Structures are given as structure tokens and as C-alpha cells.
Chains A and B, each alone.
Chain A
Amino acid sequence: MKKKKFRISRIFIYAALILMAFITLVPFAWMLSASLKMNKDVFTFPVQWIPENPRWENYVEIWQKIPLLTFVKNTFKLTIIVTFLQLLTSSFAAYAFAKLEFKGRKTLFIAYIATIAVPWQAYMVPQYMMLTSWNLRNTHTAIILLQAFSAFGVFLMKQFYENVPTSLCEAARIDGLSEYGIWAKIMLPLSRPAVSTLLIFTFVNTWNDFLGPLIYLTAERKKTIQIGLRMFIGQYSSEYGLIMAGSVLALIPVLIVFLSLQKYFVQGIATTGLKG
């Protein structure tokens, strides 16, 4: 009796899992499939999931139709610089907030936390005017400044560092290690899950950022892949196959970073107390 009940609930669980996987996956499967079709075949119904004659040319043509290479290079450049700056400055500041005694610690930290609740969109207009008055319109510097110093990163790293036993730092101090040494040789190596979590977030946010580049980057040679792809969709709205090929390409770097770091991810979120 009990066993039977158990089996029924198992069936229910697997059915729900398959439904979830279906809902999540179908748009991506459709995208991939359409990216290999001629425009006239994209919308045939019933959906032909595996195209008979895959049209690989879509993946060649998209590079010729728009300066995709420039967009990709720009996006990589921005993403790498922002991610590096964000990780470095956040973990640096977080160490002080978590493990050092100093005047104004509380006040400064509250200044950070309070701003997490303030949507960027609430002050994007004055920020835009400030940065344009420094002649930063159509520069990548503007996007880097916008993204690199988030309060979120400091908060996340601090939560993690607080779980590292203080006795470790004290022992290192007695051994004559400077605070910088402790940060570099003890804290950083220990904080892999937190660093991976922040890295995924920063990489993904910068790679996928839309409104920032939309406002600041109007010159074509400065645009990122998101803006470039969107521009292409606006101009050639019926090039279905090419749009989907471009979309697949825009997903790949994020997929790689995410898959290579995902084992740290849930662990990172759990230990940083992001759960509140």
C-alpha cells in the first residue's frame, strides 16, 4: 500500500519535471531549429524540429549582414573589463567590511545597502547627463563605469566573508601577514563559490545589458551584440532564419560561462546568505 502510494508520487514528480523541462526548453529548441531553416520554412506547421536540409549559410550570412564581429568584440571587451573590476573592487571592499574594525564601518555599509533598493532607472537620467558632460557618450568607458562598482557585489562578498572564521585571519596576522596578504592568500582562495556566483552574475548582466548600451552607444562601431541584434531585428524583421542564427550566437558565451561555473552556483547563493 505504502509502496504503491510512493510510486504514484514518483510518477507525478517526473511528470512535473518533464513539463518544466518542456516549457523551459521549447523556445530554445525552436530557436535552434529555425536558425537552420529558410525563411519560408520557419513557420511551417506542424513544426519540423529537425530541418531536412539544414541551411548552415544562415550562420555565415549573419556576419555579413551586420558588423557582428565588431559587436562581439565590443561585448567581450566590456564584459571582461567590467567583470574583472567588479570582482576585484567588491572583494577588496568586502574584506574591510567583514573583517576589519574601522571608523564609519556601519555608516558606509548602510550607504551601500540602501542603494540596492533604488532602481538604476530612477537616476539614469542625471547619470546620463553627468557622463555626457564628461564626453563619455559613445565610449565604452561609460558602460564600464556604469557596471563596475555595484553595491550588490560588495554585499554578496561580505556575506560570504563573514562566514570565514576570524581566527584564520588572526593566526595569519600573528604570522606577520599584512591585511593585503590575508586578503590575497587566505580570503580569495577560500571564496571560490562566492566569486563564481558574482562572476556569473556580472558576466551575464554585462553581456546581456540592454538599456545602458541603448542609451549610451549610438555609433555603430561601439555597439554591443544585444543592441546590434536588436537593430538587425528592427531592420530585417522578416529574416527569420538569420534572426534566430544571431540569437543562438548571442547565447553561446553565456552558456559556456554558466555551465563551467554552475557547480559553485547554488553553493555560492546558499553560503552568501543571498536567501536573506
Chain B
Amino acid sequence: MNHGKALSEHDKAARRRTIKKNLIAYSFIAPNFIGFCVITLVPMFFALVLAFFEWDGVHQMQFLGFGNFRRLFQDRMFKAAFVNTIVYSAVTVPVTMVFSLAMALLLNQNVKGRNFFRTLGFFPYVASLVAVAAVWNFIFNPSMGPVNMMLSRLGVENPPRWAAGKNTAMLTVIMFSVWKNMGYYMVIYLAGLQGINQELYEAAQLDGANTWQLFRHVTLPQLRPTTFFVVVMLTIASFKVYDQVYMITEGGPGTATLTLVYHVYNEAFVGSPEFGYASSIALVLLVLVLAITMVQFRGSTGTAE
């Protein structure tokens, strides 16, 4: 009896300690989590709901069921945006990856001024988009820009019209994006390269491996987790492209560079607002991104080890 009472006293004390421990932990998380819930989780949930309604922000919301999605199928702008986004991502992701890996390999060598070059390589990423897009537009200006001036000096008769040309607009946006962002992925690759055990290289060299074989059989496999991370981040970033397009081509000419997020923005914030319809486009974007991320996840865990 006495013993049992002591035990429950003990239990209570332990319980109080756990509760106190939990409360302390929650107090650490609360400032960020409350903000995160209100600003991110709640709207995320609403985005799912809103896609099934019609709403202009003024009148009553109207339930449409799958009406918005049926409308998507007939919307030629949506179709163009969808295709453009896929094309943009399909080119930008591998090209950025190759360039950033090449830069990282280069800057992982023991070269003079290495830190200077690293800083330089990263700078376009942190530079203001509005500013660098403005320069880009001047440099690639079809009639006066130095790039086309040089091309015509070199004897090119009809130099490309870059952002103004129907067939070159997307190319111009992609080139700009690769230039702007490769420095970021370069730094991630650099961190990955520095994590590779040097003994692996020494062992392979003893076996008589040449530079290419070292790269192919040591560097690349060792970098697989890094590459996975880079590809996922790049894919997510590519699917939500908007700013670059807005500043280089404004989505044109015609619908040549209209992207999904551009279409969302236009439907929700330009002219008469269609919040419900915009949300249904955003939902397509979300499903697309999640599906691709999931496939990449499968692929990476499937082939590793």
C-alpha cells in the first residue's frame, strides 16, 4: 500500500517532468510554427478547396465541382502554358546541372584565385533579377545589342531576334535562367565534391585509372545524393518559373513563353479576377511538381546501393 503510493507519486513526478519537457520544446517551435501554419498551411488547404469554386472576390463563391478543370481542357492559353513549362523544365534542368557540375569540378581544382572565382560564379544568383534582366535585354537587343552587332560583323545575315522572335524567345529565357542560377547549384556540387573521401581517388589511381575513369567511376557515383538533390530542387524551381519570363519576354511573343505560373498570375491579378480558375491551374502545377518529385525519389532510392 505504502509502496504503491510512493510509486504513483514517482509516476506523477515523472509525468510532470515529461509535460514540462514537452511544453519547453513547444515553446521553441511555437514562434515559427504558428506563423508557418497561418501563412502557409491554411492557404495551402484553401488552394485545394478554391480550385472547385468560382469566385471573383466580390460575389458569393459558387461551387463548380470539376467545372474549372473541364474549362482547362478548352483553354488554349492553358495548353500553351502547360507545354511551355514542360519544355522550359526539360531543357533548363539538365543544362543547368551539367554547367554547374562542370563549374564545380573546375573550382574544386587547386588553382590560383580559387575563392575569387567561386565568389564570381555565385554572384549572378544573388544579383537582383530586375537589374540583370535589364542588362540581358540590352545585350540581346535584336537591333542594337552588342551580341547581334557582333553576329552581323561576323557575317551572320539575319541574326536571331532573341526575346522578340517567336522561335527564339524560349531559348533566350532558358539561356538567361541557366546563366542566373547555375552558381547556386555549383556551390551545392562543390560541397558534395568536398565530401568525397580522397582515399577513393588514391586507390583508383593505384589501379591505374585515368582522369576520365576517376570521374566516371569515383566522382559521379559518389555525387549521386548531391545530384539527386540538385535535380529535385531544379525541377521544382523550373516548374514555378515566372519572374524571369516576366522580365525577359512578358510571356510573349503571343503565347511563346507563357508559363503555368504566368497564367495563374494573369487569371488572378490581371483584369477581372478569377480566383477559382487560377487556383485550378495552380493545383495542376502542384500535382505536376509532386508527381515528378516522387518519381525522382523512387528513381534515386531504387538505383542507390
Q: Which residues of A come within 8 Å of B, CB atoms? A: 9, 13-14, 16-17, 20-21, 23-28, 30-31, 34, 42-43, 45, 47, 88-90, 92-93, 95-97, 100-103, 105, 108, 111-112, 115, 117-130, 145-146, 148-151, 153-154, 179, 183, 200, 204, 207-208, 210-211, 215, 225-226, 229-230, 233, 240, 243-244, 246-248, 250-251, 254-255, 258-259, 262-263, 265-266, 269-270, 274-276
B134 touches A121 (CB 8 A): no
B35 touches A27 (CB 8 A): no
Contacts of B43 in A (CB 8 A): 123-124, 126-127, 130
Q: Is B80 an interface residue (CB 8 A)?
A: no
B50 touches A125 (CB 8 A): yes
B28 touches A93 (CB 8 A): yes
Taken residue by residue from 251 to 278, chain B's Cβ proximity to chain A (1 for < 8 Å, 0 otherwise) reads as 0000000000100110011000001001
A151 and B102 alpha carbons, distance in the complex (Å): 30
A179 to chain B, nearest CB (A): 5
A122 touches B194 (CB 8 A): no
Contacts of A274 in B (CB 8 A): 188, 191, 229
A149-B32, A275-B226 in contact; A16/B46 too (CB < 8 A)? no
Q: Is B158 an interface residue (CB 8 A)?
A: no
Q: Which residues of B come within 8 Å of A, CB atoms? A: 21-22, 24-26, 28-29, 31-33, 35-36, 38-44, 46-47, 50, 57, 102-103, 106-107, 109, 111, 115, 117-124, 126-132, 134-136, 138-139, 141, 144-146, 149-150, 153, 179, 183, 187-188, 190-192, 194-195, 211, 225-226, 228-229, 232, 236, 239-240, 242-243, 246-247, 261, 264-265, 268-269, 275, 278-279, 282-283, 285-286, 289-290, 293
A90-B32, A247-B134 in contact; A13/B289 too (CB < 8 A)? no
Q: Which residue of B lies closest to A252 (CB)?
A: B128
A-B residue pairs, 9 tightest by C-beta:
A276-B229, A247-B131, A149-B35, A102-B25, A126-B46, A96-B28, A127-B43, A89-B32, A270-B191
Q: Which residue of B lies closest to A132 (CB)?
A: B57
B156 to chain A, nearest CB (A): 14
Q: Which of B25, B35, B131, B139 is close to A100, meaning CB atoms less than 8 Å apart?
A: B25
Contacts of B32 in A (CB 8 A): 89-90, 92-93, 149, 153-154
A223 to chain B, nearest CB (A): 12
Contacts of B103 in A (CB 8 A): 20
Contacts of B50 in A (CB 8 A): 125-126
A121-B240, A275-B192 in contact; A102/B22 too (CB < 8 A)? yes
A21-B117, A24-B120, A233-B134 in contact; A254/B239 too (CB < 8 A)? no
A266-B187, A275-B191 in contact; A16/B106 too (CB < 8 A)? yes
B236 touches A27 (CB 8 A): no
Contacts of A88 in B (CB 8 A): 31
A20-B121, A123-B46 in contact; A200/B126 too (CB < 8 A)? yes
A13-B106, A145-B35 in contact; A121/B242 too (CB < 8 A)? yes
Q: Which of A31, A153, A208 is close to B135, meaning CB atoms less than 8 Å apart?
A: A31
A266 touches B39 (CB 8 A): no
B46 touches A130 (CB 8 A): yes
Contacts of A121 in B (CB 8 A): 240, 242, 261, 264, 282, 285
A21-B120, A31-B131, A89-B35 in contact; A43/B286 too (CB < 8 A)? no
A13-B106, A122-B285, A275-B226 in contact; A244/B134 too (CB < 8 A)? yes
A251 and B138 alpha carbons, distance in the complex (Å): 17
A240 and B46 alpha carbons, distance in the complex (Å): 44
A266 and B192 alpha carbons, distance in the complex (Å): 10
- Which of A146, A179, A259 has the most CB atoms of chain B within a 10 A radius of its CB? A179
Q: What would be 13 A-B contacts, judged by CB atoms less than 8 Å apart? A: A24-B183, A30-B135, A123-B47, A128-B269, A149-B35, A210-B130, A226-B129, A229-B134, A247-B130, A247-B132, A255-B126, A258-B126, A266-B194
